[in-house]
Chain A
Amino acid sequence: MHKKTIAQLAAGLRSGEFSSIELTRACLERIRRLDSKLNAFITVSEEQALAAAQAADSIRATGRGGALTGIPIAHKDIFCTRGVKTSCGSRMLDNFIAPYDAYVVERLKAAGAVMVGKTNMDEFAMGSSNETSFFGPVHNPWAGTAVPGGSSGGSAAAVAARLVPAATGTDTGGSIRQPAALCGISGLKPTYGRVSRYGMIAFASSLDQGGPMARTVEDLAWLIEAMAGFDPRDSTCVERPVPRYAAGIDAPLTGLTVGLPKEYFGAGLSPAVGDLIQAAVGVVQRLGAQIKEISLPNSQLAVPVYYVIAPAEASSNLSRYDGVRYGYRCSEPRDLDDLYERTRGEGFGAEVKRRIMVGTYVLSAGYYDAYYLKAQQVRRMIRDDFIRAFEEVDVIMGPTAPTAAFDLGEKTSDPVQMYLSDIYTIAVNLAGLPALSIPAGFAEGRPVGLQLIGDFFAEERLLNVGHRYQQETDWHARIPRGYE
């Protein structure tokens, strides 16, 4: 059962080949047996999972239910789940039992999906390797010594190792796409505002966006259809009808124009990754697409812009962790300042503290214009590069990450080197665009991801191209050794 996609599992559930209880038990059993090698889960919610599976089976028994009814999924531990620990990968929230469900959790529950647990992640989603988690690093199923990427590293590893058919993730600078690429799965970062951020623990609010991670693009289509939609509780959520994403994925690619940004194929890209991406472009070309070289001239500024804007927003968002209302509290505070300072000093890890300090600095009196305002101006230039590009092309293609998965510990000593692993993903968040990462082959046994970037709200188009590509290739169907 664990090798089946959501679409195949839904068929099995519908025909009565197996029940959701059986399927959920099988998932829980695989997690129990295999997760000690991966550390992909922070919490396994067996009791709730079995109750939800039971409920899904009752719904199916009456002939009702949709594509996701009875399908096991995992949530990144950044999404609040009522009655279940929601740690955000941090000591700060190690004791936090969320009092309500995030919108995404609510929606997937309503669609009948069965939550089996919460996945490991970089602390407060700040990281590209899952090494900043308070709960320890996640190991890449393709190579135990390699990182799974981050910040949604637990979700990516769990899906790649076939512990669950799908998981949720969030993407602030590449946190869905980069781990999807490094673990050989498919992941979609929707347009900013497409999916409500309600109950999704905030990191950088003008960039954060939740999305699905699964093995195939078709499965992503089913998931995003359930997750998207208007929610008045997120003031940046866009009021716009949700398309039936899965309905359009088979459309032919004739007449499609694909842009290849020359900046995404220059220095810094591993030659092995570059070759695989060119081969993937060739597949799409054979399917009828026209290929065109384009330029995104301000690309190289995306990472520095991000490392002003994201820490600035984070320093403000994370000021809520004060040891008063919920979460960690230091022992025996002398006074209120001591309570704040020691709670935060002890509750946050080193990378989170670094980013809060960078954010505090760039927003402080005398520096605001030079850093924050400047970064927002360059942010516009980066977004406008994309707007111009989409006047000429329908979809932009390139690598998701400059290399395949690197080794654990390889980049932990130099934060800037770590930040550069998101060089091709970050601009998309700054511009608010949707983007997809799908498997495109292997470099020395480690997966490589192809990134497809679309115009605002062009998720349907991305899913269409990604699905057609997956009809022609089998990279997404490969299973890491030891997890067959």
Chain B
Amino acid sequence: MSLGPSQVREIAHLARLAVDGNDIPAYAENLSRILDFVEQLGSVATEGTAPLAHPLEMSQRLRADAVGEEDQRELFQSIAPATQDGLYLVPKVIE
């Protein structure tokens, strides 16, 4: 599997990663090398084998639908890049 520069740009955009144009060829080469390497899985016979998501095959534990945490908004927002009136600030989305 060989990725070209345009595919790398597309993947970077899907992942919301700004990648410097000068770095694209190196990413293309390394990502292709990694995908080539994992390609060997394609030749393994896996018909009838169920996928394994959790090594102990446990299912998600449920809990009572009750409030368990206290409100720590001020503490959590004290490390935010920008807040105002208890809200997180981001660039304007709607004009």
Contacts and interface: CB of A to CB of B under 8 A. Distances in A.
Contact of A375 (B8, B41, B75): B41
Nearest to A298: B44
A361 interface: yes
Contacts of B15: 315, 344, 356-357, 359-360
Nearest to A308: B38
Given A329-B81, A357-B12, A336 B55 contact: no
B37 A304 contact: yes
Contacts of A206: 53-55
A340 B63 CA distance: 33
A144 B49 CA distance: 47
Nearest to B89: A324
Nearest to A348: B17
Nearest to A325: B80
Interface of B: 3, 8, 11-20, 23, 27, 30-31, 33-35, 37-42, 44, 46, 49-56, 58, 60-61, 63, 72, 75-76, 78-82, 88, 90-93
A170 B46 CA distance: 31
Interface in A423-440: 430-433
B60 A235 contact: yes
A357 B56 contact: no
Contact of B41 (A305, A315, A338, A361): A305
A192 B17 contact: no
Given A353-B17, A360-B15, A380-B50, 17 more contacts: A99-B72, A232-B63, A235-B61, A304-B39, A307-B34, A325-B76, A325-B88, A333-B91, A345-B19, A357-B15, A361-B3, A373-B51, A375-B41, A381-B44, A381-B49, A383-B52, A431-B55
B41 A336 contact: no
A471 interface: no
A472 interface: no
A416 B34 CA distance: 6
Nearest to B13: A341
A377 to B, nearest CB: 4
B10 to A, nearest CB: 9
A354 B82 contact: no
A343 B19 CA distance: 11
A432 B72 contact: no
Interface string A401-441: 00000000000001110010000000000111100000000
A116 to B, nearest CB: 23
A363 to B, nearest CB: 9
A236 B60 CA distance: 7
A339 B16 CA distance: 9
5 contacts: A206-B55, A341-B17, A358-B31, A361-B11, A378-B49
B33 A416 contact: yes
Contact of A415 (B34, B72, B75, B79): B34
B52 A96 contact: no
Interface in A343-375: 344-346, 348, 350, 353-354, 356-362, 364, 370-371, 373-375
A324 B81 contact: yes
Contacts of A307: 34, 37-38
B27 A357 contact: yes
Contact of A357 (B11, B42, B75): B11
Contacts of B14: 360, 364
* Residue of B3, B20, B39, B51 with most chain A CB atoms under a 10 A cut-off: B51
Interface of A: 95-97, 99, 192-193, 206, 232, 235-236, 238, 298, 301, 303-305, 307-308, 315, 319, 322-327, 329, 333-342, 344-346, 348, 350, 353-354, 356-362, 364, 370-371, 373-381, 383, 414-416, 419, 430-433, 456
Contacts of B56: 192-193, 238, 432, 456
Nearest to B78: A99
Contacts of A357: 8, 11-12, 15, 17, 27, 31
B55 A383 contact: yes
A99 B79 contact: yes
A321 to B, nearest CB: 10
Contacts of A419: 37
Nearest to A433: B55
Given A96-B79, A97-B79, A338 B91 contact: yes
Given A324-B81, A354-B30, A371 B38 contact: yes
A323 B87 CA distance: 14
Contact of A329 (B23, B55, B82): B82
B84 to A, nearest CB: 13
Contacts of B81: 323-324, 326-327, 329
A108 B70 CA distance: 24
Nearest to B60: A235
